[in-house]
Amino acid sequence: MYKYHGGKDMKKALILAVFLICASLAVSAQGLYLDVGIGFGKAWTVFDGDDVVDELGSDVHAIAIDLGLKAGYGPFGKIPLYVVGELGGMGHRIYKNLDYIQFNSYIIGPGVIFYPIPLIQLGLSMGYSYVSNQSNLSSLDEIYGYNSKGGFAYNISAAVDLGFLGNHGTLIGIKYFNAINTLEVLDASEKSSMISIFVRYTHRKKPPLLF
């Protein structure tokens, strides 16, 4: 029987998030970059080549949520570029009535943010990935509910940066997330992806004009 160990993973993730924020503050309050927020959208989870929603039948429903935090430094002189570290992930819940299985895929790694103009933000992150799946049904838990040996994930995003007070602002944008992991049992492959619309609070030194 699979035993859920997601709590330990979340503790490590929270410790890393605190470290990222503290490290950024230590570098320079003036050059601090920080954003945090939530997104909703459409997700796909493929387990050993088979789409899980298709495997579970047409009468199931699905929701997907994206959460994340970025912290770093920038811009660099007259170059509207920021270097960040990201802790984020997606949750893809497939359910019928009160029964569910949720695929949680995470990313921890470096990234860059670029402003071609002060109103538009482009982002790219990539790095280590892990999964922590869960279900309230033992039959599904034993099939899908394994933690991963590790993997790789990346995301790309584009957003409108609406500054409203000094270095504070709001990001409204779209993001694509993709994670590939090898699970602990039978070396099964889990691939998760998501397209989301997000809203995030941001604190940044405003980017200079590129031209």
Q: Look at residue 145 in the predicted model and tell me its pLDDT.
A: 60
pLDDT at residue 143, as a whole number? 61
CATH code that applies to domain 6-203: 2.40.160.20
Phi, psi at 135, each rounded to 5°: -155, 155
Query: What is the C-alpha separation between 175 and 159, in angstroms, rounded?
Result: 9
What's residue 142's pLDDT? 59
The predicted-structure confidence for 129-163, as pLDDT tens digits, reads as follows 999 888 887 665 556 666 778 899 999 999 999 98
Over the chain (211 residues), the average pLDDT of each successive run of 10 is 43 56 51 94 92 82 95 91 95 90 93 95 96 77 68 97 87 98 81 97 87 69
Q: Where are the domains of the chain?
A: 6-203
> Which of 130, 44, 45 is closest to 88 using CA atoms?
130
Q: What is the pLDDT of residue 207?
A: 85
- Please provide the DSSP assignment of 28-70 as one string: -STTEEEEEEEEEEEEEEEETTEEHHHHH-TT-EEEEEEEEEE
Cβ(122)–Cβ(155) below 8 Å: no
Provide the whole-model pTM: 0.82
53 Cβ partners below 8 Å, 6+ apart?
44, 45, 60, 62, 94
Q: Encode 67-93: b = buried (16+ Cβ within 10 Å), e = exposed.
A: bbbbbbbbbeeeebebebbbbbbbbbb
Q: What is the pLDDT of residue 4?
A: 36
How many whole angstroms separate alpha carbon 161 and alpha carbon 165? 12
